[in-house]
Amino acid sequence: MGVVLDIDEEYQENWSDYMLSKIYYDEEDFNSLKRTVELYERFVNEERSLIRNLDDILFRLFAFHKQEIYKNECEVRLLNTQGIYMRTQIKDVFYDLNSINKPTSFKELPIEWRESVGSTNLPKRKIP
């Protein structure tokens, strides 16, 4: 199964708080990211750098790594980063109970789709 995302220029600002990536399962990829964080932290401490916002980006990248035992999943992950570091209220979050009556929350994605693949005559539908 495949999903194609084509973000219209008019709506690109609606996607600024999202990161989309395949999941990396290789231990070396994960260790490389950990080493990058360690080097960055050492640089900030030793050089007394004013650059302090790279950790926001680096730590988000950890969400795209899993242990190798899950490699058969071939997962792709969409991460909403709104409010993670600024402790702001995330807009448009819905609350519900899942199938085992455990509280959960979700955010609807600003996606449009066509009823039939390859058809250009059908109207687009928008998911709120």
pLDDT, one tens digit per residue, over 34-82 is: 998 898 888 888 877 777 677 777 888 888 999 889 989 888 888 877 7
Highest mean pLDDT among 14-18, 41-45, 104-108: 41-45
Question: Which residues, at least 6 apart from 40, have a Cβ–Cβ distance to it below 8 Å?
Answer: 54, 55, 58
**Does pTM top 0.75 for this prediction?**
no
Query: Which residue did the predictor score with more confidence, 125 or 43?
Result: 43
Question: Which residues, at least 6 apart from 26, have a Cβ–Cβ distance to it below 8 Å?
Answer: 68
pLDDT at 94: 81
